[in-house]
Amino acid sequence: MKKALICGVSGQDGAYLAKLLLNKGYHVYGGSRDAQMSGFRNLDKLGIRKDVQVVSVNINDFRSVLQTLIKIKPYEVYNLAGQSSVGLSFEQPVETLESISVGTLNLLEAIRFSDLPIKLYNAGSSECFGDTGKDAADELTPFRPRSPYGVAKAAAFWQVANYREAYQLYASTGILFNHESPLRPERFVTRKIVAAACRIAQGSQEKLTLGNIDIARDWGWAPDYVEAMWQMLQQSQPDDYVIATGHTCKLKDFIQVVFDCVGLNWEEHVKTDSSFFRPTDIAEGYANPARARQKLGWTAQHKMEDVARLMVEYQLAETPQFAP
């Protein structure tokens, strides 16, 4: 039985990945800074909490990482840990940089030091590219990040590339564009929109206040994307891949689909506030996931409209008064 360690198992991607690996027959270890105190609510929501063996590991502590790898001896390690909010990274830039770049470096160095035959997946981000205008970003597009989060992810990407070349480690980075699900916390704008639309449909008189709704993103479905993560580590050689749907939509389009799902006109319930704008932001994000399609045989199964509908359906199921 293959053993996999997922650092950051309590997050959206970590939970869906754990479920995928369990279905493939893996023995799954879930890493958290304090496994005794963490809630693991996403694992509970997916009904797999009892099937994941949780372990305490702080990836900002090299000794903790090394001890964990030597004890478990995993076949695959998935690095999904670290501060995950672009908006929050402007308020906590030091925490963001340390949790992402230092954590990744500790994993790489611990794998090298342990000399174990471990395959590492590193969670990259489209935020590394910055604003590419109408040009669709691929694996050769230069990085020009516009947020502390993007800077941290770019640093981690180059650390992985360096260790792969210098020490022949099997280490790959997935450069993932936006991917959503009901497991997102409400600080993420897609979940914030879905939750508010359902409350308003129930009778709430609130207004949904957002920042710039003219930004455009490539939105995908998180369960699709964890399949790509696994596929990357099944290749004979490590490599980096852009993971995206290849379709970009404006945030206002996502809003419209969500409010249409609950029978409301979004323009009557949404307002914008410039104080919600980020100091620097990406106006539009376009992706070219051709390498993933050609080498991994992976394509996104859900587009933005599907993502919005699925998130609303889940929210309605969670609150029976909304059910049709």
Q: Could you list the active site residues?
A: 125, 127, 149
Give the SS3 label for residue 181: coil
Phi and psi of 13, rounded to 5°? -65, -40
Whole-angstrom CA distances from 155 to 43, 133, 205, 243 are 30, 22, 44, 19
The token pair that represents 33 in the structure block: 């800074």
The partner residues of 119 in beta bridges, in order of sequence, read 76, 170
Give 3-state DSSP helix, strand, coil % of the chain, rounded to 5.
Answer: 45, 15, 40
Q: Name the maximum alpha-carbon separation found in the chain.
A: 60
Please state, in angstroms and rounded to a whole number, the distance separating the CA atoms of residues 140 and 93: 27
Enumerate residues 6+ apart whose C-beta is below 8 A from 90.
Answer: 147, 148, 278, 279
| Count of helix runs (H) and strand runs (E) in the chain | 12, 13
Enumerate residues 6+ apart whose C-beta is below 8 A from 157.
Answer: 122, 124, 128, 143, 173, 175, 240
Please state, in angstroms and rounded to a whole number, the distance separating the CA atoms of residues 112 and 161: 14
